[in-house]
Amino acid sequence: MQFLQAVLEIHLVVAFLTALCAVVFSWTTNGRRVVNAVAALQFLLGLTLAGVMGASHVPLPPEIWLHIAIALAILAAYGMSMRIGKRAGGATLGLVLAVIGILLIATNIVIGWRMVMPASSSEGTLTVYYARLDGTTLGTWDVTVRVPAPGESDAQILHDRATYAAVQAVAGPPVDVSAVRFPSGTRVRSVDVSGTTAVVDLTREVAASNGGSFQENGEFKGLVYTLTGITPINAVQITIEGRNVETLPGGHLELDAPLRRSDW
């Protein structure tokens, strides 16, 4: 989700801004108010990020909760620092609390970096989604992707990554994981990326799906979420044996138009 990625990147920018303000302004009471205000913005960003991921049924990584908790600790450290610093003889303790706040800010920068880099990296790992047995809630696992060869075009890299992602999503998670799965024998015939839409052609076995709306929605939700996690893809068009179809035989999910995350 592009909005999610934007929030992640803004989070990291604000983390660096908080650190800059802390280094420049932490040494006076009024300056600590500035740091507290920026830290509060970072806390709100963390809540926004958690809300967006929760509404999208995307599993929340523990780093997000840790970020929110540390942001609260930063607010507490600077709030106490401002109060104590005003008291007679409290300047030293106020300064100590401000230094603790700076250390917490540095920790949040590390957390922000860890959250942003996996999503924006062009090599290393790929997150594959699958639907749990309720047909709605998503789980994930990571797979390793190859490093692009020297001179390989961006279009070829994108094609190979999208194809690999589709194959992994259709194959599903390890057998010991309870998940909604495509019908046995379903394979990816080809994947083509045109602009921001990936066209995934599946074999005819996919039409054997007969598990109702939860089954059909679960199958394709994992596939769509997996592919739209690759920049710049934001939609997935499904074809079967090279042909456009309106629905699967069960008729529970319309396939005649590209599918997006917002469809669920």
- Output the pLDDT for position 6: 63
Q: Which of 73, 98, 120 is the last residue of a domain?
A: 120
Q: What is the CATH number of the domain that holds 103?
A: 1.20.120
Residue in 168, 160, 114 with CA at minimum distance from that of residue 142? 168
* Residue predicted with more confidence, 114 or 246: 246
Average pLDDT of the residues in 13-22: 74
- Output the pLDDT for position 5: 58
In order, the DSSP letters of 17-75 are HHHHHHHHHTTSHHHHHHHHHHHHHHHHHHHHHHHHHHHTTPPPPHHHHHHHHHHHHHH
CA–CA separation, 10 and 108 (whole Å)? 13
Q: Which of 58, 87, 120 is the last residue of a domain?
A: 120
Identify which of 37-41, 57-61, 101-105 has the greatest average pLDDT: 101-105
| 62 and 148 inside one domain | no
Contact by Cβ (8 Å): 249, 240: no
* Residue predicted with more confidence, 105 or 235: 235
Contact by Cβ (8 Å): 182, 219: yes
| 242 and 230 inside one domain | yes
CA–CA separation, 81 and 76 (whole Å)? 8
Query: In angstroms, what CA-CA distances link 171 with 46, 69, 135, 175?
Result: 34, 37, 16, 10
* The residue type at 243: R
CA–CA separation, 18 and 105 (whole Å)? 7
Query: In angstroms, what CA-CA distances link 180 with 172, 189, 247?
Result: 8, 21, 18
Confidence of residue 8 (pLDDT cuts 50, 70, 90): low
| 207 and 186 inside one domain | yes
Q: Which domain holds residue 43?
A: 2-120
What is the number of domains present in the chain? 2
Beta strands in the chain (DSSP E): 124-131, 138-145, 188-194, 197-202, 235-240, 243-244
Q: Which of 86, 120, 154 is the last residue of a domain?
A: 120
